[in-house]
Amino acid sequence: MGPVPEAGQEDGDIVDAGGRPVTLLPGAACFDSSLSFGMIRGGHVDVTVLGALEVDEKGNLANWMIPGKLVPGMGGAMDLTVGAKRVIIATEHNLKDGKPKIVERCTLPLTAASEVNLIITELAVIEVIPQGLLLKEIAPHTTVEEVQ
């Protein structure tokens, strides 16, 4: 996708997953949501990368709702997490208030249970294994204590 179109140049048929107008760059390809969900639900997606509000040691993911705030909904995240063969979470390590996004147990409504395979933040790469979270790599100039 390209930049947001200028006012008056929007094309109602060229929108992102949230329904917002977008432009296309050379080489772009489009398909409708029924084909998209057919690929996802048919098990044809090898890897999906999603953001998170919370992710826990069991591989549970909460990424669509903040209590008391209006958000657009989960979109296809629920389908992607159960339809993809591998689920990678790419997120900031902490919320803006400093609270961790990687928690012992999610407190927000779950998008998916036990589906996350890998968590990547600006501080670390963490694998979700049956025993819990396995720290695989930390960023330069970062300590294990900072990650914890």
143: domain CATH number?
Answer: 3.40.1080.10
**Whole-model pTM?**
0.82
pLDDT of amino acid 20: 87
Which pLDDT score, from 0 to 100, does residue 73 have? 64
Q: Are strands 47-50 and 86-90 parallel, antiparallel or unpaired?
A: parallel
Does residue 95 belong to any structural domain of this protein?
yes
- Residue 3 within a domain: no
Question: Quick check: is 87 in a domain?
Answer: yes
Cα–Cα distance, 61 to 82 (Å, whole number): 11
Per-residue pLDDT of 91-135, as tens digits, reads 999 988 989 999 999 999 999 999 999 999 999 999 999 999 999
pLDDT tens digits, one per residue of 35-63: 988 999 999 999 999 999 999 999 999 98
Residues 130-143 as b or e (16 or more Cβ within 10 Å = b): eeebeeeebeeeee
pLDDT: which is higher, 29 or 66: 29
Q: How many CB atoms lie within 10 A of CB 2?
A: 11
Range(s) of the domain holding residue 119? 46-147
Give residue 70's pLDDT. 56
Q: How confident is the model at residue 76 (pLDDT cuts 50, 70, 90)?
A: confident
Question: Above 70 in pLDDT, residue 66?
Answer: no
Question: What does residue 7 show for φ and ψ, rounded to 5 degrees?
Answer: -55, 130
* Assigned domain for 14 exists: no
Q: Is residue 92 part of a domain?
A: yes
Specify if 121 maps to a domain: yes
Residue 18 has pLDDT above 90, yes or no: no
Does the residue 21 lie in any domain? no
pLDDT of residue 71: 60
Task: Spell out the residues 6+ positions from residue 145 whose beta carbon is closer than 8 angstroms to its own.
Answer: none
Give mean pLDDT, residues 126-148. Answer: 96
Question: What are the distances in angstroms from CA 50 to CA 5, 45, 120?
Answer: 25, 13, 10
| Number of domains the chain contains | 1
Indicate if the pLDDT at residue 22 is higher than 70. Answer: yes
Is residue 135, in this structure, part of any structural domain at all? yes
